[in-house]
Amino acid sequence: MGRRSRAAMLPTNIILLQNLVKRDPESYQEEFLQQYAHYESLRDIFMLNGLTGSDSAVATNGLDLGKGSSMVSGTNGTTISTSTSQLIELIGFVSQVCSCFPRQTANFPSELKQLLLEHHKALPFELKEKILSCLTMLRNKDVITAEELIQSLFPLLVAYSSHGNSLGANSHAKELRKIIYTNLISLLRSCNTNGKNQKLNKSTQAVCFNLLDKPDSQGVWATKLTRELWRRGIWDDSRTVEIMTQAASHQDVKIAMSGVMFFLDADREREENFEENSEDEDGFDLDALKHKMQVNKKTGRRGKKLENAIKTVKKKKKNGPGAPQGYLNFSAIHLLRDPQGFAEKLFKEHLSGKTKNKFDMEQKISLMQLLSRLIGTHKLTVLGIYTFFLKYLTPKQRDVTRIMSACAQACHDLIPPEVISVMVRKIADEFVSDGVANEVAAAGINTIREICSRAPLAIEETLLQDLVEYKGSKAKGVNMAAKSLIALYRDVAPEMLKKKDRGKNAAMEVQGAKREGRDSKRPQFGVENSVQGIAGIELLAKWKKEHSEESEDEDAEANWEVDAGSEEGNVDGEWVTMDSDKEYDVNMEDSDDEKDNADDKEADSDLELSDDEKKEVKDEQEDKGMDSETAFREIASTRILTPADFAKLQELRNEESVAEIMGVHKQDRREQLVDASTLTGPIRYKQSREERLQKVLEGREGRDKFSSRRGKRDNVRSTTNREKERRKNFVMSIHKRSVRGKQKMSLRDKQKVLRAHITKQKKKGY
């Protein structure tokens, strides 16, 4: 009987009916059809009333102001709202259950789309919102495809982003844009969760390309979308990057800048995003759980816990650390299809063309940064940019350090030195002289050092020697900058330095070369220093030699060091610190500017060829004598290199490069960036009064005030009568009758008083 009553249940509202229809679509087909017809008639009424309503109201308003037509139009508004709420309800109902009746509702999605696309100007906001959410729901139920949804979302996004497109004040454009945008993002994300949906991605990217093809500013949405998807790692291919290149070379300033900023920032953003994600995951230790399982009592619950943990770990491994499946970790600049063309186009159209003035300084600097990064990364030749930089290289220029860092990044060894040397000369002239502030000079020298580390031939010998003279400067920043320049050239081309600046190793090398009549290893333009034979073989040879020297007492040591760990590793550590001692220190000074005086002294002593190293001289001479060629001959001809040898080789090479990497551990080495903020070196300005005061107060924190506690009560109150009496002047109270009377009292009375006092005190308990 209960079943019967359930079947005959009479739905009295839409939600109830929706529930019933979902449970048993066949039985409630009639009801559904009725409601569908209801929806249709409501829709027709809406088409008749709602859409024309606003127009007719306006028309009548214009016609007769005197009559009560304004009131009529006002009431018209309320009819819209009631019938609209019904329509909203029904649209929700039909889209919820229409997957049960695909044949009858075949036309429903397209009707919604038409309503939205063609009449969106006349629809009230709530209805638009509902239709959007219903379309998304239909997509989730697979009634319409993702492509269809995107095709209806994009035009709306464009329509609502244009200004003054006869959109009324009440159009809620901003909210709608937000809704549509988040819908788009979540749609693309959900479509790309299990493997990439290449078809959808391609079609969406095609839409983006089309948007960017138009000269107006609608393309901003394409760039915004692309950037967001890139940040989430959903789009990571070269097509995406191609969209952004098109955006970057767009005529519209806003779009162009969003493209440029994408290349400058997007990768960092993406990394941050993934780091956050990985932090979010609650890390639990699988090994610990397993161990607990072994030690503790075995119960079903714990076993289940372990199983769950294993499952989640596997899932995580499958998906990678926070990144979607099959995610490529290439930076945007590396995925460029035609970097040279892109760089040339950017330079020609945005920086040097007729339209260059449409960008303000900040934007121009961003463009310069992007261009220089492109040039540095892909070793491009855009020769015009170096003379372009000249204009901005003056100390008075705003944000000049950023421009200078761009300058430095734009240099590499395939640019003709004479092109760069103009720039270097200009920097030296403008920045490095006795008349300028310390940090200006430091910035100049540091920039020159950065340039020269990329293109060592860009500076003439005389200029270099002049700049090196600043090593005696009193200002710390300048001093350090000059020394770092020396250190660089000791490494790269010691011949260019004066004799006294060359340093011990470099000087000896030069002398040795002269003695033997070899041509020096001075770098030349166009000659690549490619590796012959096996890279780093001389290191291996040296290691072998040392190893064999030590091997005499190794046997003895090995016996009692077996337990302690791998003895080999121990030896390695020793070797590295001894051999690369000097280089390491120099580089430290180079990269780390915030050292104290102590460090400075250390560096000084280093430069003056410390005496401690004397004992090593012999050793090192041997080492230097063996260059890669001889080493190759020696080792490769005498024995066959085993895989273990190669592993060792790799290790040694890594260790050698440790010092170089010190400062730039995390960065991609191909994209070494010049940090603009470090160019000026450490600057210490005189503190203002407020700052000093703040520092003083900082020291006093948590300390009591130094003063006597006397006369200070812990809780605030007035003095009691007793206190007042006690403090009263003696002369005043001596004349009182009560005091005088005491003297005149008889002995007996005195006794009485005393006794009474005693009993009173006793009663009180004293």
Beta carbon of residue 30, minimum distance to another protein (angstroms, whole number): 3
- 273 neighbors 232 (Cβ within 8 angstroms): yes
- 264 neighbors 248 (Cβ within 8 angstroms): no
Beta carbon of residue 38, minimum distance to another protein (angstroms, whole number): 4
Q: Would you say 61 or 325 has its CB closer to another protein?
A: 61
Identify which of 34, 26, 80 has the alpha carbon closest to the alpha carbon of residue 57. 80
Q: Would you say 115 or 244 has its CB closer to another protein?
A: 115
Question: In Å, what is the CA distance from 661 to each residue of 197, 596, 606, 664, 668?
Answer: 39, 22, 21, 5, 10
Tokens linked to 760: 């009173």
Beta carbon of residue 13, minimum distance to another protein (angstroms, whole number): 7
Binding site for another protein (CB under 8 A): 7-14, 17, 26-31, 33-35, 37-38, 41-45, 47-49, 51-52, 65-68, 71-72, 74-75, 78-79, 83, 103-104, 106-107, 110-111, 114-115
Q: Would you say 79 or 667 has its CB closer to another protein?
A: 79
Q: Would you say 38 or 547 has its CB closer to another protein?
A: 38
- 309 neighbors 286 (Cβ within 8 angstroms): yes
Beta carbon of residue 129, minimum distance to another protein (angstroms, whole number): 19
Q: Would you say 106 or 693 has its CB closer to another protein?
A: 106
**Amino acid (1-letter code) at residue 68:** G
Q: What sections of 120-218 are H helices per DSSP?
A: 125-140, 146-161, 173-191, 198-213
Which contacts (CB < 8 Å, 24+ apart) does range 23-31 have? 25/97, 25/100, 25/101, 29/101
Q: Would you say 109 or 536 has its CB closer to another protein?
A: 109
Beta carbon of residue 53, minimum distance to another protein (angstroms, whole number): 10
Beta carbon of residue 173, minimum distance to another protein (angstroms, whole number): 23
Identify which of 451, 456, 448, 450 has the alpha carbon closest to the alpha carbon of residue 523. 456
- Which residue bears the tokens 């048993």? 24
Beta carbon of residue 42, minimum distance to another protein (angstroms, whole number): 6
Task: Supply the DSSP symbol for 642.
Answer: P
Identify which of 121, 156, 104, 164 has the alpha carbon closest to the alpha carbon of residue 135. 156
Q: Would you say 131 or 478 has its CB closer to another protein?
A: 131
Beta carbon of residue 40, minimum distance to another protein (angstroms, whole number): 9
Q: Would you say 48 or 535 has its CB closer to another protein?
A: 48
Give the three-state DSSP class for 662: helix
Q: Would you say 29 or 151 has its CB closer to another protein?
A: 29
Beta carbon of residue 37, minimum distance to another protein (angstroms, whole number): 4
Beta carbon of residue 41, minimum distance to another protein (angstroms, whole number): 4
Beta carbon of residue 21, minimum distance to another protein (angstroms, whole number): 11
Q: How far apart are CA 655 and CA 193, in angstroms?
A: 41
Beta carbon of residue 265, minimum distance to another protein (angstroms, whole number): 44
Q: How would DSSP label each residue in 442-503?
A: HHHHHHHHHHHHH-GGGS-HHHHHHHHGGGG-SSHHHHHHHHHHHHHHHHH-GGGS-GGGS-
Give the three-state DSSP class for 510: helix
Q: Would you say 19 or 621 has its CB closer to another protein?
A: 19
- Which residue bears the tokens 């430095």? 408
Put residue 558 in one of left, alpha, beta given phi > 0 → left and psi -120 to 50 → alpha.
alpha
Q: Would you say 8 or 697 has its CB closer to another protein?
A: 8
- Which residue bears the tokens 């391609």? 202
Beta carbon of residue 125, minimum distance to another protein (angstroms, whole number): 20
Question: In Å, what is the CA distance from 185 to each residue of 203, 393, 440, 707?
Answer: 15, 43, 47, 66
- Which residue bears the tokens 């540095």? 376
Q: Would you say 17 or 150 has its CB closer to another protein?
A: 17
Beta carbon of residue 106, minimum distance to another protein (angstroms, whole number): 4
How many residues would you count in the chain? 766
Identify which of 343, 465, 357 has the alpha carbon closest to the alpha carbon of residue 409. 343
Phi and psi, residue 324, nearest 5°: -65, 165
- CA-based end-to-end distance of the chain: 91
Identify which of 206, 264, 197 has the alpha carbon closest to the alpha carbon of residue 235. 197
Q: How far apart are CA 445 and CA 481, in angstroms?
A: 6
Q: Would you say 107 or 210 has its CB closer to another protein?
A: 107
Q: Would you say 12 or 743 has its CB closer to another protein?
A: 12
CB contact set of 327 (below 8 Å; sequence gap of 6+): 233, 236, 320
Beta carbon of residue 85, minimum distance to another protein (angstroms, whole number): 13
Identify which of 373, 614, 393, 359 has the alpha carbon closest to the alpha carbon of residue 508. 614
Beta carbon of residue 169, minimum distance to another protein (angstroms, whole number): 24
Q: Would you say 121 or 290 has its CB closer to another protein?
A: 121
- Helix, strand, coil: what percent of the chain each, to 5? 70, 0, 30
Q: Would you say 106 or 288 has its CB closer to another protein?
A: 106
Q: Would you say 31 or 623 has its CB closer to another protein?
A: 31
Q: How far apart are CA 323 and CA 437, in angstroms?
A: 48
Q: How far apart are CA 540 and CA 573, in angstroms?
A: 15
Identify which of 632, 622, 670, 662 has the alpha carbon closest to the alpha carbon of residue 535. 632
Tokens linked to 149: 């949804």
Beta carbon of residue 119, minimum distance to another protein (angstroms, whole number): 8
